């Protein structure tokens, strides 16, 4: 995976192109991620004992991994990353700018 939970990312394609947010959750089996404040949909909640009122809630919907990139302050845009090995650890490095993300 080129992103981790908590990373700041930018959306590359789709209706939300150019929007930025933090990665909330990664869904490995489907290759998708939830990004905070992006791709919001209204979800209708059924009445239950835990939630007797029911109602509507705005929730983030998953985006495909290929449509997001890590945000680099140094480059001022989303960047591709490569993996470098240093001192026995894997470090993500931005390709055009050299920003270290880990």
pLDDT at 32: 96
User: Tell me, what's the pLDDT at 48?
Assistant: 94
Distance of CA 96 to the CA centre of its chain: 20
The parts of the chain modelled with pLDDT lower than 50 are none
Does 56 reside within a domain? yes
Q: What confidence tens digit (pLDDT) does each residue in 51-68 have?
A: 999 999 999 999 999 999
The CB-side HSE value for 36 (13 A sphere, CA atoms) comes to: 9
CATH number at residue 12: 2.30.30.30
Domain range spanning residue 84? 8-94
pLDDT score for 1: 80
State the pTM of this model: 0.82
Sequence-ordered alpha helix ranges (H) in the chain? none
Query: How many domains are there within the chain?
Result: 1
């Amino acid at each position: 995976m080129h992103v981790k939970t908590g990373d700041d990312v930018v959306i590359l394609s789709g209706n939300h192109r150019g929007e930025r947010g933090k990665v909330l959750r990664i869904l490995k089996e489907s290759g998708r991620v939830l990004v905070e404040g992006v791709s919001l949909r209204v979800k209708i909640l059924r009445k239950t004992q835990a939630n007797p009122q029911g109602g509507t809630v705005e929730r983030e919907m998953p985006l495909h991994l290929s449509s997001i990139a890590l945000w680099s302050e140094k480059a001022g845009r989303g960047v591709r990353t490569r993996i470098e090995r240093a001192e026995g650890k894997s470090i993500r490095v931005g390709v055009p700018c050299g920003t270290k993300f880990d």
